[in-house]
Structure 1
Amino acid sequence: MEKHEFKSRIYSELAALTKAMSNPFRLQIIDLLAQGSRTVEEIADQLSISIANTSQHLQVLKGASLVAVYKQGHYAHYRLASDEVLASWHGLRDLGINRMAEIDRTLREFREERESFDSVSINELLDKIQQDNVLIVDVRPEKEFNAGHISGARSIPIDQLAQHLADWPQGKETIVYCRGPFCVFADEAVQMLSQKGIPVRRLEEGFPEWKIRHLPISI
């Protein structure tokens, strides 16, 4: 094999891999599957697109070995093929935040509108846990919480949060988290709690970032 053919093959395959990710819906699917496996129907519902379109996107991702599929009962469940896929998505996402001014601007505008711009990092949260002066609240859907969550976190899905405001625990700062930097559940939770005078900030990252660092989780 000539060296130019060698390079051509390698870079063509890498180009095919990046092409599989070069769609906003497919990136959302990867971000969603970082929380746990999903059926086609569940993914379609989360993305508000048709099952047919969802299936097409999943086939592209599967063809690039980015997702894997397994059968459970009568349903096919999709998951990320490996932690490398998750790490690659995080790398692309962080590159976008750091290098694409429009992404940073959009994040700032969205969070400023919801008074959720002040966030804490995972390292800051670890310090607070050591000091035992923080209430950690997971506002993702209960299914995602049950699949894995930050140890010690309390599950209050965003659609149930309003029911708990009247008897919210006092004396500790609340840190809410959800799926990651682009997940709006945490921003909505910060807005709701702040309006009730409850000290609260969001975790800048989400559960997948916590898990990939091999920090304590519970299932």
Structure 2
Amino acid sequence: MKRAHPKRVMFGFAAEVSKALAHPARIELLDLLAQGSRSVDSAAKAASLSVANASQHLLQLKKAGLLSAHRQGKHIVYELADESVVVLLRTVSTFADDHLADAERAIANLYRARDPIAPASSAELLKRIKDGTGLTIDVRPALEYRAAHIPHAINMPVDEIAKHIADIPSGSDIVTYCRGPYCIFAYQAIEVLRPAGRQVRRLQGGFLEWRLNRLPLEGEEVPDAAAHVVFAKY
């Protein structure tokens, strides 16, 4: 019996990982789990999927080695296998941004057009935090904020921003952030805050970029280490 060529065997494993990524819902689930661990029910709700559909996608990602899972009471909780998954997720997204013309047009129309003001860089926000200046608002859901967030950021989920504008001093220099470069929560927050007279910018690349760059984090699920990679451009 002819033995398989070692290279073909290893390329087959790489193909398994690629196959696991070959669905928008599975990439979205990875993006959600980059914010913190979730039960199947929680992941399904956040991704607007049925529980059965989300469960199948999560199992595919686990089979490919991208996720790990454990039981917590009656629930199965999923989390990223390790920090290399965050790097893989961002690498795939960045490649699509750079090499697919349709992706570039979508970025221009769906993102940049909503906020023409240059975002704040991670380095700028880090300096502000160290200097104790300005206000950082995390507009992700409270569950994600509790898991891990940028130091000294206050949590104000995007659907609650309008109710709390009066609590934000009018002279504040605000940086707001959400999950990552494809998340629209920060844009939605800006569309509420700026008309109310607040000076606000987005964080370039959001939480995902901050985590990739191994910058300080606070919370219940702060990762031990992250690869030092810079990708964000918008």
What is the TM-score when the length of structure 1 is the normalising length?
Answer: 0.92
The aligned amino acid for 2:216 is: P
The answer on whether the counterparts of 1:108 and 1:117 sit within 8 Å (CA) in structure 2 is no
Q: State the SS of the aligned residue for 2:49.
A: coil
Partner of 2:228: none
Task: Compute the displacement of 1:187 (Å).
Answer: 0.7
SS in 2 for 1:150: coil
Residue pair 2:129, 2:151 contacting (<8 A) in 1 also? no
Partner of 1:170: 170
State whether structure 2 residue 218 is matched by structure 1 residue 209: no
Question: Are the aligned partners of 2:62 and 2:68 in contact in 1 as well (CA < 8 Å)?
Answer: yes
Structure 1 residue 149 displacement after superposition: 0.7
RMSD between aligned alpha carbons?
1.9
Shift of 1:179: 0.5
CA distance in 1, matches of 2:155, 2:104: 29
The structure carrying a bigger strand percent of its residues is 1
The amino acid across from 2:85 in the alignment is: V
Asked whether the equivalents of residues 136 and 153 of structure 2 are also in contact (C-alpha less than 8 Å), the reply is: yes
Q: Is the CA contact 1:35–1:144 (under 8 Å) kept in the aligned structure 2? A: yes
Q: Residue by residue, what CA displacement relative to the aligned partner does 1:17-44 show, whole Å, maximum 9, x if unpaired?
A: 1111111000001000001111111111
User: What is the one-letter code of the residue matched to 1:210?
Assistant: W
Structure 2 match to 1:27: 27
Aligned to 1:109: 109
Partner residue, 1:154: 154
How far apart, CA to CA, are the structure 1 residues paired with 2:200 and 2:99? Answer: 29
Counterparts of 1:86-165 in structure 2 under 5 Å? 86-115=86-115, 118-165=118-165
Q: Please tell me whether residue 11 in structure 1 is matched to residue 11 in structure 2.
A: yes
Listed as ranges, the matches of 1:178-217 within 5 Å are: 178-217=178-217
Asked whether the equivalents of residues 172 and 198 of structure 2 are also in contact (C-alpha less than 8 Å), the reply is no
Contact 1:116 1:202 in 2 (8 A): no
Give 1:110 shift: 2.1
Segments of structure 2 that go 5 or more residues without pairing to the other structure are 220-234
Structure 1 unpaired stretches of 5+ = none
How many residues align? The count is 218
103-112 or 181-190, which deviates more: 103-112
Q: TM-score, normalised by structure 2?
A: 0.86
Shift of 1:118: 2.9
Q: Distance in 2 between matches of 1:31 and 1:211?
A: 12
Structure 2: how far apart are the matches of 1:9 and 1:117?
A: 49
- Are the counterparts in 2 of residues 114 and 190 from structure 1 also a CA contact under 8 Å? no
Greater alpha carbon shift after TM alignment, 165-174 vs 20-29? 165-174
Question: 1:100 Cα shift?
Answer: 2.0
Higher helix share: 1
